[in-house]
Structure 1
Amino acid sequence: MDEKFDCIIVGAGVAGLAAAMVLARSNMKFLLIERGEFAGSKNVSGGVLWGHDLAKLVPDYWEEKEAGWERFINHRRLTFMDEESTFSLDFKSSHFNEPPYSGVVVLRSKFDRWLADKVQDAIDASDYAMDSFIATNILVDQIIMKDDKAVGIKTGEDEFFADSVIIAEGVNNLLTRQVGLQTQYVPADHMLTGIKEIIRFDQKELEDRFQLNGLSGMSNEFVGWATDGVEGGGFLYTNRDTISLGLVLGIKDMREKNKSPHDVLNHFKSHPAIADIIRGGEIVEYTAHVVSSGDKRAMPKELYKDGVLLAGESANLLMNAGKAIQGMDYAMRSGILAAETIVKAKEKNDFTSATLSGYRKALDDSYVMKDINGFQDAVHLLHTPTMQHDVPNLICDFGRQFFTIKNEPTPKSKDMLRGAIKRHSSYWDLIKLGAKGAKAL
């Protein structure tokens, strides 16, 4: 076997698989390396894959009976919490029902394996069916550098060489630092811990409980009491016969407040509204992993150099501006753009940074960096104490007053709101928040 490839991709997550699909369809000879037993075996994350890039990689994916996704999203909910109440912004629309869907819920261990099978199909249909490979159970120890250019990878005693390398190792930045694109570990205040339980129900019971029809699904984000005073928020996604329920928590804040992810998750589940939702369910999986906070200061100083590109969470491409947690869609788009850049480099026979810099330009021109740059103020605003605590408490306080009917004169809504503001915040703080929010969003 000729061990010289056009490209070696490190990591068979969403970014790596998207890159591999583009390379296979472009008749490139490549090696995709995954340290797990199979693609997705080491990936404990999951949630909603937003956008239409999946339809570009797997046309008509929604017609497959054994597709790797769980449900499509046609119901969105944002919930504010205090210790006894919830107040939700709720939106459901049939316009989300037509494929290609604007968002699909995935469990990554299942989804990644399915997408890897699609990549293998693309390899089999290419001119390099016998020369391109998906190799699992292999840990990449080192990117081989020659004259400060990536020329291959080393795993154990074996070395494999290529004109280019795409690093899609995830949030663990060992290889990113090794090639010199990041000088240190990402600071703890730019990182979050994601903790999740998969809770199983009878499928009909789940569909009745969440008012689902067919494969429709719901995503629900939570702000406020859910995190027990720790910076972060909660989420709930409906799968086929399970729900994904969990939290993303600031690592630094959690450490300073001496709280464990498991204890905070139990706190979240003890809320009356959540206890009603999960009643009768069976916990079948418990997972935790590290994710980026969405603060672009966590990004590497650059995403390319001679012979190498960064994609997905290895480039800390993630954002939560309050509307949705976006990461998998960023990973998929960055993987596509990285592979397209490699294809152009192959055409020029130039894998230096002069050509690979086109990846950064393409990423900057895409919605990924436009959103990350455009909504940084919203990311920072979401993590302020006012937004994390004061606003949810104020909203729930007002809700309790507004929806309570007593056999006595009812105050005007403006008086209810005035009282809630006085108890939980101040007009000045809300004016500042409104001004920042108008700028941020």
Structure 2
Amino acid sequence: MEDKFDCIVIGGGIAGLSAAMVLARNNMKFMLIERGEFSGAKNVSGGVLWGEGLSKLVPNYWEEEDAGFERFINHRRLTFMDPDSTFSIDFKSESFNGTPYKGVVVLRSKFDNWLAEKVQEAIDQSEHADECFLAPNILVEEVLMQDGKAVGIKAGGDEFYADSVIIAEGVNNLLTRQIGLQDKYVPADALAVGVKEIIRFDQKVLEDRFQLNGLSGMSNEFIGTATQGVEGGGFLYTNRDTLSFGLVLGMISLRDSGLKPYDILNEFKAHPVIRDILRDGEVVEYSAHAVSTGDMKVMPKEIYADGVLVAGEAANLLMNSGKAIQGMDYALHSGVLAAETIVEAKQKGDYSKTTMKSYRDKLEKSFVLQDMRNFQGAVEFLHSKQMFESVPGLVCDFGKQFFSIKNEPTPKTREMLTKSIKKHSSYWDLLKLGLKGARSL
């Protein structure tokens, strides 16, 4: 027990690395264990890290010549699709060009590795530079428990001891279940399958096609026939010279459809509008993984216990509120709050759940759990069948009428809208959907 750490962090993703950064800057003696060959090695590439949390973790990161992000977001687009058309809500603002950026596009293998290097720099400047470690390529087999308290971990047949443990293992929750904070696997109806391709372009072609200037970037979400009737939607994010492009599909709906994720993705890519967007691109990476839908009912029954905290997606901290898919920002902030709680526990000399409860309290006061609670209705609303079937069809049908100029009398806009509503839904159904959306969003 002479080599006991103040804390062991399990997982070298964004939650674990954010926790490690705070621990290092507070001169804590810790070890971070990552089962990949390096941080980011096993992460599915591509996504947006929203908010300004990164600037607090790595001040002025945007000034670095080779910072870990691809582009900043100043252009947002939401696209409704039917089999041959798209109708987009498009927003771009010069105000989003200022730093700290409101959102940055990242490729996780690059970004996580860069963030790990920043953590190592913080370790090198700490009082325990020779006693703190980032340990990759190690699988944690077990969290060691003693009289109901986490006292370390077992990995590779060896045991390592600590006053506290932060579990940031991702969505599978193997260790969270092992210590009794979760009774079972996350049910399939609270999970989705993310399928993603990285598509490379000549950088100038990509920048011209998406009207990018410097490091500006765009995010685009798709609703409608992209998923062939399977619950879910599509996404596109611009990187330096590639696109992150793919689908998020409800696991139960996908199973019931009998369709394969990659076949749905290929059909999505064959849509006439998408085909033009992706023209001349080269697929250089394909990946798929399970993601949470953000339903709070499947969070662990608690995210703290004696000597242990659960952060990031291991705590099911992810949500699609309609305007963005948020997960990485929740992981970063929860990792920071977990580490701050461990620092306080060391100062008190008390790692019991009485002290650890402070982590839950911090999360409840933060945007993370406040937004997840406030927008739980949106999780259900956005996954309703109307939202990915009748609404996109209605919107695109109206667009075809509204933007068609013929050599004949033009009907009033309300007549066009009435025709589209009758074809795809009803006023009563739309009224109910609108009221539900108003309460949810």
Report if TM-score (shorter chain) is over 0.5: yes
Percent sequence identity is 69
The answer as to whether partners of 1:34 and 1:135 remain within 8 angstroms in 2 is yes
Q: Take 2:386 and 2:127, find their aligned partners in 1: how far apart are those partners?
A: 58
Q: Take 1:299 and 1:16, find their aligned partners in 2: how far apart are those partners?
A: 18
Q: Residue type of the partner of 1:60?
A: N
Q: Take 2:135 and 2:3, find their aligned partners in 1: how far apart are those partners?
A: 13
- State the 1:2 CA deviation: 4.8
Q: Deviations over 1:50-86 (max 9, x none)?
A: 0111001110100111111000000000001110110
The answer as to whether partners of 2:303 and 2:309 remain within 8 angstroms in 1 is yes
Q: 1:154-303 to 2 correspondence within 5 Å?
A: 154-303=154-303
What is residue 148 of structure 2 aligned with on the other side? 148
Q: Take 1:2 and 1:127, find their aligned partners in 2: how far apart are those partners?
A: 18
Gap regions ≥5 residues in structure 1? none
- State the 1:379 CA deviation: 1.1
What is residue 428 of structure 1 aligned with on the other side? 428
Q: Deviations over 1:180-222 (max 9, x none)?
A: 0000001000000111000000001100000000000000001
SS of the residue 2:70 aligns to: strand
Q: 1:15-94 to 2 correspondence within 5 Å?
A: 15-94=15-94
What is residue 119 of structure 1 aligned with on the other side? 119
Q: Deviations over 1:375-419 (max 9, x none)?
A: 011111000011111111000000000001111111110000000
Q: Deviations over 1:298-333 (max 9, x none)?
A: 211110000110000000100002100000000000
What is residue 330 of structure 1 aligned with on the other side? 330
The answer as to whether partners of 1:45 and 1:289 remain within 8 angstroms in 2 is no
What is residue 411 of structure 1 aligned with on the other side? 411
Q: Take 1:294 and 1:261, find their aligned partners in 2: how far apart are those partners?
A: 21
What is residue 395 of structure 2 aligned with on the other side? 395
What is residue 313 of structure 1 aligned with on the other side? 313
Q: Deviations over 1:260-319 (max 9, x none)?
A: 110110111011111001100000000111100011112111100001100000001000
The answer as to whether partners of 2:87 and 2:399 remain within 8 angstroms in 1 is yes
What is residue 368 of structure 2 aligned with on the other side? 368
- State the superposition RMSD in angstroms: 0.8
Q: 1:128-143 to 2 correspondence within 5 Å?
A: 128-143=128-143
SS of the residue 1:69 aligns to: coil
Q: Residue type of the partner of 1:340?
A: E
- State the 1:243 CA deviation: 0.3
Q: Take 1:257 and 1:273, find their aligned partners in 2: how far apart are those partners?
A: 24
Q: Deviations over 1:116-157 (max 9, x none)?
A: 000000000000000000001100000000011100000121
- State the 1:175 CA deviation: 0.3
Gap regions ≥5 residues in structure 2? none
TM-score between both structures, scaled by the size of structure 1: 0.99
SS of the residue 1:88 aligns to: strand
Q: Residue type of the partner of 1:287?
A: S
What is residue 380 of structure 2 aligned with on the other side? 380
Q: Residue type of the partner of 1:370?
A: Q
The answer as to whether partners of 1:34 and 1:138 remain within 8 angstroms in 2 is yes
Q: Take 2:109 and 2:231, find their aligned partners in 1: how far apart are those partners?
A: 28
Q: Take 1:84 and 1:163, find their aligned partners in 2: how far apart are those partners?
A: 59
Q: Take 2:419 and 2:3, find their aligned partners in 1: how far apart are those partners?
A: 72
Q: Take 1:127 and 1:209, find their aligned partners in 2: how far apart are those partners?
A: 50
Q: Take 2:351 and 2:267, find their aligned partners in 1: how far apart are those partners?
A: 51
Q: Residue type of the partner of 2:152?
A: G
Q: Residue type of the partner of 1:55?
A: S
Runs of 4 or more above 4 Å deviation: none
Q: Take 1:208 and 1:157, find their aligned partners in 2: how far apart are those partners?
A: 54
TM-score between both structures, scaled by the size of structure 2: 0.99
SS of the residue 1:229 aligns to: coil
Q: Residue type of the partner of 1:278?
A: L
The answer as to whether partners of 1:292 and 1:298 remain within 8 angstroms in 2 is no
The answer as to whether partners of 1:79 and 1:89 remain within 8 angstroms in 2 is yes
Q: Take 1:216 and 1:98, find their aligned partners in 2: how far apart are those partners?
A: 11
Q: Residue type of the partner of 1:32?
A: L
